[in-house]
């Protein structure tokens, strides 16, 4: 401990402290942006369900399947490594006053991956049919027309991932400079443009499907141009420098390789689970996609938002050898994320069918009871994953921030083995469609245990007070679940759509009040912090109105 304090007192010489948002304000801004972006994403999915609504579900399944292979290519090559490589590295360089060196290395990184992705996207567009035919090997239950349609639609989705990559690179760089507002609300523009494309071109024909993906390509290109323009003051420093043998670039690339593989594992697991879903029919492919979207709402809004702020801060603290600050950052981030995802998981578990219907079942959406039951079944299995994935993501980002990228890779390999094995076992036992989401949750448990044990070996970096926090949060969630369950029996969500939404809103308010009341009784700091922020916002607005 004495050595750590000494290291912290020495501290690396750093430039003047950057002005910017506090951790709490930054997390709030990113979280608010995530909420709005997620809501727009849900609206997008509802419109997609309305536009591709043939009785056989062929066009809806083809639309979902069309994104799978391009997304896999994206994550195999660069996707998941962008933020987890660029933001920690550049943030660390900025923290010790080496901005010029950091900008040069990131410029080379951007240039090299752009060239590689351009080649890959071109090849994917040309050979989309044979690629999707390979996907169908060993799966006689996949309809040929679904594969054909998906392959045709993907011809515009392969070049789309090139612009997605450029936009993601912009976001990683801007986050390093604490430009959280741009990076948080930029995706909203993308979703709006995609919604416009689906409304204009969507329909139950090959022509409509292809035109829709072409519109999505245009939307993505506009999104990238806007992100670059909004952050032009920072982005103009970065130039095209194609030097793949540069020493600093090779060092950064070696760090990025495990992140690349880890990200690709997530996408591979998604593809594997989609293949399992096809065994139960096209309706379950769409149900699995809907459930995946829903459970990732609290995950993205709270967890990804918080770690987006944590990662560059932690990288800077670790680079400056401020280990106590690093430990506090991980502890605060873990508790803040879990404080919100634990009740979210409990609410979704109790109200799974109501949640699905509230989001997707609209009078003109052609979203049937079978669709709702399918999605809610998957959603029940994902509830535990909301909590376990929170811990996994926080630890993964912490490892990336301190430059130890191989540990998350080992964790990902565990999930790559456990997900299909446990899914196959559950399906063989007759568990049905829920096998897919239960298998995903189980693999997350294995990852969580491995990551937690490994990270906490370095006691000076380990989060503190987590077990006590979890016990309190679990008690709060248990009481809340019991109350919501009783209210749900007494007040079912019947009637027209507006009435259903109002009833669901009442249940949500009851859940929040009970959870926070229990948290205050148990003296949880996280509850007090959220309440104080809320009071500050209310009083601030009142003061402005009086003025």
pLDDT greater than 90 at residue 217: yes
Give CA–CA dist 259/168, Å, rounded: 15
Q: Which residues contact 282 (CB under 8 A, 6 or more apart)?
A: 56, 57, 58, 60, 61, 143, 146
pLDDT band at 43 (very low <50, low <70, confident <90, very high): confident
HEC string of 487-534 equals HHHHCCCCCCHHHHHHHHHHHHHHHHHHHHHHHHHCCCHHHHHHHHHH
Residue 459 resides in a domain:
no
Specify the pLDDT at position 13: 40
What is the chain's mean pLDDT, rounded? Answer: 82
Residue 97 has what DSSP assignment?
Answer: T
Task: Give ∠ CA 449-455-456 in degrees, rounded to 5.
Answer: 90
Whether 312 maps to a domain, the answer reads no
Domains contained in the chain, number: 1
pLDDT in tens, 284-340: 777 888 888 888 888 888 888 788 888 888 988 888 888 999 999 999 999 989 999
Q: Is residue 514 part of a domain?
A: no
Domain extent for 180: 39-269
- Whether residue 119 lies inside any domain: the answer is yes
Q: What is the pLDDT of residue 484?
A: 93
Q: What is the pLDDT of residue 78?
A: 66
pLDDT per residue as tens digits for the range 28-41 = 677 677 778 777 87
> pTM for this structure?
0.73
- pLDDT bucket at 472, cuts 50 / 70 / 90: very high
**pLDDT score of 17:** 42
Residue 110 to residue 133: CA distance in whole angstroms: 32
Is the per-residue pLDDT at 541 higher than 70? no
**452 burial type by CB count under 10 A (0-12 exposed, 13-18 middle, 19+ buried):** middle
Question: What's residue 479's pLDDT?
Answer: 95
Q: Strand ranges (DSSP E) for 126-179?
A: none
Place of tokens 């950052």: 329
In the block, which residue shows the tokens 């309190």?
472
Percent of the chain with pLDDT over 70: 87
Whether 131 maps to a domain, the answer reads yes
Rounded CA separation 448/446 (Å)? 5
Measured in residues, the chain has a length of 547
Asked whether residue 13 is assigned to any structural domain, the reply reads: no
* Structure tokens belonging to residue 13: 């010489």
Residue 378 within any structural domain of the chain:
no
Q: What's the average model confidence in pLDDT over 511-534?
A: 83
Q: What is the pLDDT of residue 534?
A: 59
pLDDT of residue 361: 81
Q: What is the pLDDT of residue 528?
A: 76
Q: Given pLDDT bands bounded at 50, 70 and 90, which one contains residue 144?
A: confident
Q: Given the structure tokens 């523009």, which residue do they identify?
A: 189
3-class state of residue 365 by DSSP: coil
Under the banding of pLDDT at 50, 70 and 90, the label for residue 55 is low
With respect to residue 82, please indicate whether it lies within any of the assigned structural domains: yes
Q: What is the DSSP letter of 18?
A: P
Least confident range of 18-22, 134-138, 209-213: 18-22
Tell me the H-state helices in 402-455.
406-428, 434-455
Taking the C-alpha atoms of residue 298 and residue 310, their distance in angstroms, rounded to an integer, is: 17
What band does 345 get if pLDDT is binned at 50, 70 and 90?
Answer: very high
Cα separation, 95 vs 97, in Å, equals: 6
Question: Exposure string (b/e) for 345-380, b if CB count within 10 Å is 16 or more?
Answer: bbbbbbbbbbbbbbbbbeeebbbeeebbbbbbbbbb
Please choose, from the candidates 358, 376, 281, the residue with its C-alpha nearest in 3D space to the C-alpha of residue 55. 281
Q: How far is CA 131 from CA 68, 124, 127, 136, 396, in A?
A: 11, 8, 6, 9, 31
What are the tokens at 65?
């399947």
DSSP letter string, 319-333 = HTT-HHHHHHHHHHH
Section 151-167 average pLDDT: 88
Which pLDDT score, from 0 to 100, does residue 20 have? 52
Q: 367 vs 436, which has greater pLDDT?
A: 436
Q: How far is 100 from 83, CA to CA, in rounded Å?
A: 19
Instruction: Encode pLDDT of 237-273 as tens digits.
Output: 888 889 889 888 888 888 888 877 777 777 778 778 8
d(CA 256, CA 350): 40
Task: Give me the pLDDT at residue 149, please.
Answer: 86
């Amino acid at each position: 401990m004495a050595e750590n304090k000494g290291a912290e007192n020495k501290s690396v010489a750093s430039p003047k402290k950057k002005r910017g948002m506090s951790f709490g304000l930054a997390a709030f801004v990113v979280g608010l942006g995530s909420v709005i972006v997620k809501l727009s994403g849900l609206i997008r999915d509802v419109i997609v369900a309305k536009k591709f609504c043939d009785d056989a579900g062929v066009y809806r399944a083809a639309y979902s399947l069309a994104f799978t292979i391009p997304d896999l290519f994206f994550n195999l090559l660069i996707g998941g490594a962008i933020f987890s490589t660029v933001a920690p590295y550049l943030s660390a360089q900025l923290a010790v006053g080496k901005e010029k060196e950091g900008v040069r290395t990131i410029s080379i990184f951007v240039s090299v991956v752009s060239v590689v992705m351009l080649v890959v996207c071109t090849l994917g567009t040309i050979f989309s049919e044979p690629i999707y035919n390979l996907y169908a090997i060993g799966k006689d239950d996949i309809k040929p027309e679904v594969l054909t349609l998906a392959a045709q639609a993907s011809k515009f989705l392969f070049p789309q991932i090139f612009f997605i990559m450029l936009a993601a690179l912009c976001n990683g760089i801007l986050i390093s400079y604490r430009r959280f507002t741009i990076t948080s609300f930029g995706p909203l523009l993308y979703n709006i443009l995609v919604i416009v494309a689906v409304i204009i071109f969507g329909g139950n024909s090959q022509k409509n499907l292809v035109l829709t993906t072409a519109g999505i390509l245009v939307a993505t290109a506009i999104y990238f141009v806007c992100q670059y323009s909004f952050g032009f003051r920072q982005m103009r420093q970065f130039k095209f420098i194609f030097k793949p043998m540069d020493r600093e670039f090779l060092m950064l690339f070696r760090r990025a390789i495990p992140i690349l593989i880890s990200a690709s594992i997530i996408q591979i697991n998604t593809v594997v689970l989609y293949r399992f879903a096809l065994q139960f029919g096209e309706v379950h492919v769409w149900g699995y996609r809907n459930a995946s979207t829903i459970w990732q709402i609290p995950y993205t809004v709270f967890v990804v938002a918080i770690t987006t702020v944590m990662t560059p801060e932690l990288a800077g603290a670790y680079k400056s050898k401020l280990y106590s600050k690093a430990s506090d950052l991980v502890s605060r981030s873990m508790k803040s994320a879990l404080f919100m995802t634990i009740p979210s998981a409990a609410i979704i578990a109790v109200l799974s069918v109501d949640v699905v219907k509230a989001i997707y079942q609209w009078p003109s959406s052609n979203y049937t009871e079978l669709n709702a039951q399918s999605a809610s079944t998957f959603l029940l299995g994902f509830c535990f994953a909301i909590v376990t994935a929170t811990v996994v993501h926080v630890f993964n980002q912490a490892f990336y921030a301190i430059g130890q990228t191989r540990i998350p890779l080992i964790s990902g390999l565990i999930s790559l083995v456990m997900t299909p094995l446990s899914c196959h076992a559950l399906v063989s036992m007759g568990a049905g469609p829920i096998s897919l989401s239960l298998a995903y949750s189980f693999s997350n448990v294995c990852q969580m245990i491995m990551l937690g044990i490994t990270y906490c070996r370095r006691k000076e970096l380990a989060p503190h007070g987590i077990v006590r926090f979890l016990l309190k949060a679990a008690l709060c969630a248990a009481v809340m679940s019991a109350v919501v369950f009783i209210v749900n029996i007494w007040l079912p969500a019947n009637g027209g759509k507006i009435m259903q939404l109002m009833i669901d809103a009442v249940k949500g308010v009851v859940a929040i009040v009970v959870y926070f009341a229990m948290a205050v009784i148990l003296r949880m700091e996280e509850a007090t912090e959220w309440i104080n922020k809320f009071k500050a916002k209310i009083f601030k607005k009142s003061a402005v109105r009086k003025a």
